[in-house]
Structure 1
């Protein structure tokens, strides 16, 4: 799950309205009521390819891709691409400039010594940004994530492109394995009060293509991960930030877990263990031991960039280390996000609210 989208989209919504201050009762106002929008409830039956596209009845939605790639010389890179859709008001989509949807794109490349990120904004209804189910495509300006012509299914063969002043990437993503429904058959709770999203992933992508940093092009391959989520009121008023992991294990298993932190110092911790065939087991707080071990000072903040992660029931006991501890996304709203490594695999970590 990429829950940073709640922060970016909610703040974007608030900044787009004249002199409307962000509510102070929850992190970025994400616990504010959204009664006029569609609600997330248990029991949804997912339908594909329709659910790959946009869900206008909901307030917040995102398409999020990360990749852990390296070249033939062993140079390691992290790649991130995200498109956020945010509805400024409830109701059906309108044509042209009357449309009340705002889109936001984030893209980044991280190496052991460099980290570059960029963002884009667009208003809906005029074609500058959008998402469609068939043929699948999500885009903002020239940044795009789309099915390649002739793909056997919408997410079996994809092309991913984006770039900024000092970086670019062009990757082909392929997978023949099934999508994964997170949480309870796609109903992913974020708090004990019942806040939730609809959430599914494709953790089995293989990426290949090019990454460019400071004018030098690298040919790379490696595992990639897609997250899809949508919601209207995703957080409780007491929640202050989150830590989210997606991990590719060398044995073929995949692991997603997140902790949404509370004002009292506790956290809502859950995850999904995914076997090599795509079978899933939901992990609860008692199943997971997650402990920060070391921090990095960035922009006046102490960010935990080395973690102990144990899942005794799966025999997992690892220490994750940031590939680049300075992977600070210094955008309109700053946060930390970058690739991590550990004995037995690689992955991605995102942290907000520090």
Structure 2
């Protein structure tokens, strides 16, 4: 079983880690590009790093910040924003940290570093094809990237995520992704307390057994500015945050994992995972959790859920095939949803191929119409099902 897909970004980052590590005393002008071949020959074991303990409680506000004693870490935010002129934007913003050694050698170079940070921003505007993106990748040296505790913050160059007020239960955060290309600045206020992933009851709740610890803030009110083509627009909307840390996931294995995170009407959120064999055979195994308006969680397992794709998309660039539109039913809730992508071409352009896309949700709950929006992340199907 692979660890959660929210840590797939850690694998993606690794493609460039070895090249940066081997720079030694050389300056930034000598920095080579990412190398997947180098990654394959590098040992990213967890020896010497702190191991995730299954019964360790999540602690706030400290756990909003970095966990440098662990091998890897990911802050992942996504959501839907609306401007004052009726425009709609869906975004994903991630900051990833990978430590290189538990006991690094002492090196005199001021460019020497024991961690690599990667940032990525993707932005989709409704009614326009394709996805805009920007990226940062650098070492934690000379203040180019790092994390702080007063206030709690993590940054990479001119991108940052900070937690200035220190509130543990309903935190305020500030996201800044400046620079050329798409840009984003948001002030965030949590509408619900953090929810440890183990409390969702997914994958048996054995998150510690997967080598990671995680929590989510499934609904944060957002206000700020989106900039596309040099034109800033005031926006507001709703944002979801995942934060995970622990052991780096393996890139191999026979099991794929699809993940669904949907913000629904009435301040409810739905998160689902679905295990499947990479070769497309066998039975898919789903699990879902519904987060109620008061933060309480209702969990549902395999026999209580129907979750099946009804549309697939073939990437013209890689030839990979992904399930991108889904029907979800939980009869005990009288819940039926269709999840449809805003645009089909939302394949992540990375060494690890996944489809990470914004979706709209429409359906009914208890006889009433319900709608929402969110994100699906799915690995490619190695064998395309017949008739699609």
TM-score computed with the length of structure 2 as normaliser: 0.78
Pairing 1:134-283 to 2, within 5 Å after superposition: 134-148=150-164, 152=167, 156-163=171-178, 165-184=180-199, 194-235=209-250, 237-239=252-254, 241-265=256-280, 266=282, 269-283=286-300
TM-aligned CA deviation for residue 252 of structure 1: 1.3
Please, which moves more after superposition, 341-350 or 328-337?
328-337
Distance change >3 Å, CA 219–CA 21, structure 1 → 2: closer
Q: Distance in 2 between matches of 1:123 and 1:188?
A: 34
The answer to whether the 8 Å contact 2:11/2:248 transfers is no
Q: Which of the numbers 122, 127, 139 marks the counterpart of 1:123?
A: 139
Partner of 1:101: 115
Per the alignment, in what secondary structure is the counterpart of residue 329 of structure 1? coil
Distance 2:350 2:324 in 1: 19
Q: Residue 125 of structure 2 corresponds to which residue in structure 1?
A: 111
- Inter-partner Cα distance in structure 2 for 1:186 and 1:142: 37
* Corresponding residue of 1:289: 306
Are 1:308 and 2:312 an aligned pair?
A: no
1:77 pairs with one of 73, 84, 89: 89
- The farther-off stretch of 32-41 and 190-199 is 190-199
1:276-305 residue CA offsets vs partner (Å, 9 max, x unmatched): 111123443333322111122322332222
Shift of 1:34: 3.1
Bigger mean CA deviation after superposition, 319-328 or 230-239: 230-239
TM-score after normalising by structure 1: 0.85
The alpha carbon displacement at 1:17 in A equals 6.3
Q: Which runs of 5+ in 1 are unaligned?
A: 24-28
SS at match of 2:40: coil
For residues 48-102 of structure 1, what are the alpha-carbon distances to aligned partners after superposition, in whole Å with 9 as ceiling and x for unaligned?
A: 1221222222211111111111223432211111110111122379795443211
Matches of 1:269 and 1:15, distance apart in 2:
38
* Correspondence 1:352 to 2:369: no
Figure out how many residues of one structure are paired with residues of the other and give that number.
Answer: 347
Task: Report if the CA contact (8 A) 2:15-2:351 is conserved.
Answer: no
Separation of aligned partners in 1, 2:289 and 2:346? 25
1:59 aligns with 2:64: no
Secondary structure of the 2:321 match is: strand
How far apart are 1:187 and its partner, in Å? 9.6
Return the alpha-carbon distance in structure 2 between the equivalents of residues 186 and 93 of structure 1: 41
- Whether contact under 8 Å (1:246, 1:254) holds in the other structure is yes
Moved more, 167-176 or 260-269: 260-269
How far does residue 253 in structure 1 lie from its aligned partner after superposition? 0.9
> How far does the alpha carbon of each residue in 1:282-338 deviate from its partner, in whole angstroms, 9 at most, with x for none?
443333322111122322332222111222233221010111222233356554323
Higher mean displacement: 110-119 or 177-186: 177-186
Cα 1:154–1:297 shift into 2, 3 Å: same
Once the two structures are superposed, the pairs formed by residues 12-51 of structure 1 within 5 Å of their partners are 12-13=16-17, 20=38, 22=40, 34-51=46-63
Contact preservation (8 Å) 1:117, 1:329: no
User: Which one scores higher on RCO, CA 8 angstroms, separation ≥ 6?
Assistant: 1
Higher strand share: 1
Counterpart for residue 357 of structure 2: 338
Q: Give the Cα separation in 1 of the matches to 2:190 and 2:207.
A: 35
Distance in 2 (alpha carbons) for counterparts of 1:134 and 1:154: 18
Give the secondary-structure state (helix, strand or coil) at the position aligned to 1:126.
Answer: coil
Distance in 1 (CA, whole Å) between partners of 2:333 and 2:293 is: 14
Task: Measure, in 2, the Cα distance between the counterparts of 1:152 and 1:36.
Answer: 32
Q: Which residue of 2 aligns with 1:319?
A: 338
Q: Give yes or no for contact 1:241–1:260 (8 Å, CA) kept in 2.
A: yes
Cα distance in 1 between the residues matched to 2:155 and 2:277: 34
